Structure 1
Amino acid sequence: MAKSVRSFFWLSLGAISEEVIFRRYIRLAFRPYLGDGIFVVLTTSVLFGASHWWAGLGNVLSAATVGLFFMLMLRRSGVLWPVALAHYLLDLINFA
């Protein structure tokens, strides 16, 4: 398999799985306790940032900021696929 095809696959798999986990499952898990307002947005964003601990503090803060944007994007659109696509494109830019 060509390197570019593998990269496409792994980047898309990573973006989709992270969006499903953080924007869908974790949001739904915390919603009974935090509601669907700013507290759940901040919590999912911080957890998303924390999941990038392996890449250093700068990337944790960057991922948390991007996670905040993605969560707001999901709340506005109500649909997960545009958020996953934006995540994939951002990963493509960062890792290309």
Structure 2
Amino acid sequence: MILGPALAFYLLARQLGINTTIVMADLTEAWWTIPMYVLAAFMNGCLEEVVMIGYLFTRWRQAGWQPAVIVVVSALIRGTYHLYQGFGGFISNLAFGLLLGWLYTRTGRLWPLMIAHALIDVVAFVGYALLAGVADWL
């Protein structure tokens, strides 16, 4: 549900010249390259969601912020620190942050968000590289 629009927006942003180009990883460098990318994806998913959602949502709620403000501010911060990916990275991560923030306010659970984030990063780290020779549109 998230990967399709994210990939479509990446391709559109690249066509418009407002996004960086993804540089594929060399997955054949060593036997452990793919497992390390998968582990890095799960590390990123866990760390980012624990800090951006679990910790900050709790602290801002304790400070008296309204849930909608918390979701928007968190998503803006998430989008901003992904600006190295270009404007497309900002927009797609802003949308991702809004969705995850909304889900967290509804469920109060971090695990599904961490797993979703990790799976998206696995596809980004490994999937794009595996498709690089097959799909010239990436």
Give the TM-score taking structure 1 as reference length: 0.89
What percentage of residue pairs aligned between the two structures are identical? 24
Runs of 5+ unmatched residues, structure 1 = none
Distance (Å, rounded) in 2 between the aligned partners of 1:75 and 1:33: 15
Compute the RMSD of aligned alpha carbons.
Answer: 1.4
Does the alignment pair 1:34 with 2:65? yes
Structure number with the bigger relative contact order (C-alpha 8 A, sep ≥ 6) is 2
Runs of 5+ unmatched residues, structure 2 = 1-30, 127-138
| Cα offsets for 1:7-51 (capped at 9, x unmatched) | 11111101110001100122223221423x211111111111111
Paired residues for 1:8-27 under 5 Å: 8-27=38-57
Residue of structure 2 in register with 1:50 after alignment: 80
- Whose helix proportion is higher, 1 or 2? 1
Distance (Å, rounded) in 1 between the aligned partners of 2:124 and 2:37: 12
Maintained 8 Å contact 2:82/2:90: yes
Q: Secondary structure at the match of 1:10?
A: helix
Runs (4+) off by over 4 Å: none
